[in-house]
Amino acid sequence: MRAGIVCGDLTATVEFSFEAGGRAGTQAGVGEPPQNGGIVVVFDFDRTIIDGDSDSWVVAEMGLSDLFNQLRSTLPWNSLMGRMMKELHSQGKTAEEIAACLKRTPLHPRIAAAIKSAYALGCDLRIVSDANQFFIEKILEYQGLLACFSKIYTNPSFVDEEGRLRIFPYHDSTLSAHGCSLCPSNLCKGLVLDHIYASAPEGVRRNFIYLGDGRGDYCPTLRLQDSDYVMPRKKYPLWDRIFSEPALVKAEVHEWSNGEELEKILLHLIDKIPTEQSISGSNPSSQSNSSDCKLHISVSSPESFTQTLRVPH
Catalytic residue among 46, 53, 213, 228: 46
3-state secondary structure the chain: CCEEEEECCEEEEECCCCCCCECCCEECCCCCCCCCCCEEEEECCCCCCCCCCHHHHHHHHCCCHHHHHHHCCCCCHHHHHHHHHHHHHHCCCCHHHHHHHHHCCCCCHHHHHHHHHHHHCCCEEEEEEEEEHHHHHHHHHHHCCHHHEEEEEEECEEECCCCCEEECCCECCCCCCCCCCCCCCCCCHHHHHHHHHHCCCCCCCCEEEEEECCHHHHHHHHHCCCCCEEEEECCCHHHHHHHHCHHHCCCEEECECCHHHHHHHHHHHHHHHHHHHHHHCCCHHHCCCCCEEEEECCCCCHHHHHCEEEEEC
Catalytic residue among 44, 53, 55, 172: 44
124 is catalytic: no
55 is catalytic: no
Which amino acids are annotated catalytic?
44, 46
